[in-house]
Amino acid sequence: MTGIVGGSPLAFGIEAGDAAPAARRGGVWRRFIRNRMALVGLAIIVVLVVAAIFAPLITKYGYSDTSPDRRLGPARDHWFGTDRLGRDMFSRVVFGARVSLKIGFLATLMSMVIGVLLGSAAGYFGGIIDTLLMRLTDIFLAIPYIVLAISVAVVFGRSENSLILVIGATGWLAVARIVRSTYLALKKQEYVEAAHALGFGRARIMFGHILPNAMQPIIVFGTLAVGGAILTEAALSFLGAGVQAPTPAWGLMVAEGKGNLANEPHLLFFPGGAIAVTVLAFLFVGDGLRDALDPRLKS
């Protein structure tokens, strides 16, 4: 009984598939590192984060520095070539990692917080609250996502912070549904009934007992959502609703390079490749986490 009063989810007899206790974390990590693609994705993400942090030390030029060598292909002094203004493309791609990762992580964090709060309220309380929140979700889902994001971007302006707000405020729909379905299953568990019987408050039960056991799908979805947020940022920048020049956004660089693809393919290839590699890395890590946290899904 002491363990129950202390509020430990493990004391309520959680099933093995409902949580990852501390004793099993080593097993989760071992399963993760056996997934070669997940390790490749993790290595790419680490390299990108290090490059974004130490971009001024890695690059020879500033991302807005110009030179007489305009529209130059890959060369010794300019590894990725230069654009129509003579700016070094390698520097712009490396500094662009800062923009994409910042927007990806912060926008995902914002959308996850909103989705978890709304999804947990809908799943735990049910009834009219569940109906209202899910119908609100359906309304947003009925609107084409890119149209909704562009509309919000036009209202709030074109900057990194505005883009974080746009993607975060429109990206919570899927996670809200995932959290709701998880709460609907977990709130029927015996440890939740025991917490009710002991007189614990709703907030404590929702976030102290149920949420820790609902983290598995949230963690996996959050990892995948970072890649989705980066892709959304690139799409918005490509369509002219993202950050403004001379900010080195990958999508903006792709938009600038698409006009003369036949003669200057490097202007599109390198930023486009950076987008593809980054998104794939997060997808690989997300798949690896899914298999590691719940090996039953691997079959």
> CATH code at 214?
1.10.3720.10
- Residues 153, 217: contact at Cβ < 8 Å? no
**Is the predicted pLDDT of residue 17 greater than 70, yes or no?**
no
pLDDT at 10: 35
The phi, psi pair for 15, rounded to 5°, reads -70, 160
Q: Mean pLDDT score of the chain, rounded to an integer? A: 83
- Residues 140, 111: contact at Cβ < 8 Å? no
Residue range(s) defining the domain that contains residue 111: 32-54+87-298
pLDDT at 109: 95
- Residues 252, 233: contact at Cβ < 8 Å? no
Domain for residue 292, yes or no? yes
DSSP structural state of residue 61: S
* Closest-CA residue to 120 (of 25, 217, 196): 217
**Is the predicted pLDDT of residue 76 greater than 70, yes or no?**
yes
- What value does the mean pLDDT take over residues 229-237? 87
**Is the predicted pLDDT of residue 237 greater than 90, yes or no?**
no
Domain for residue 261, yes or no? yes
Q: Which of 32-46, 68-82, 170-184, 280-294 has the lowest average pLDDT?
A: 68-82
pLDDT at 296: 59
- Residues 268, 258: contact at Cβ < 8 Å? yes
pLDDT digits (tens, 9 = 90+) for 146-160: 787 777 777 777 778
* Closest-CA residue to 264 (of 45, 16, 99, 83): 83
Domain for residue 22, yes or no? no
pLDDT at 95: 93
**What tokens appear for 122 in the block?**
């809908």
* Closest-CA residue to 265 (of 96, 124, 74): 74
Residue located via tokens 């393919």: 265
Domain for residue 203, yes or no? yes
**Is the predicted pLDDT of residue 1 greater than 60, yes or no?**
no
Domain for residue 74, yes or no? no
Domain for residue 95, yes or no? yes
pLDDT at 28: 77
Q: Which of 16-20, 150-154, 195-199, 261-265 has the lowest average pLDDT?
A: 16-20
Percentage of the chain modeled with pLDDT above 90: 32
The phi, psi pair for 82, rounded to 5°, reads -130, 160
Domain for residue 62, yes or no? no
- What value does the mean pLDDT take over residues 199-203? 86
The total number of structural domains that make up the chain:
1
- What value does the mean pLDDT take over residues 189-196? 86
**Is the predicted pLDDT of residue 8 greater than 70, yes or no?**
no
Looking at 126-143, list the stretches that DSSP marks H as alpha helix, in order from N- to C-terminal side.
127-142
Domain for residue 239, yes or no? yes
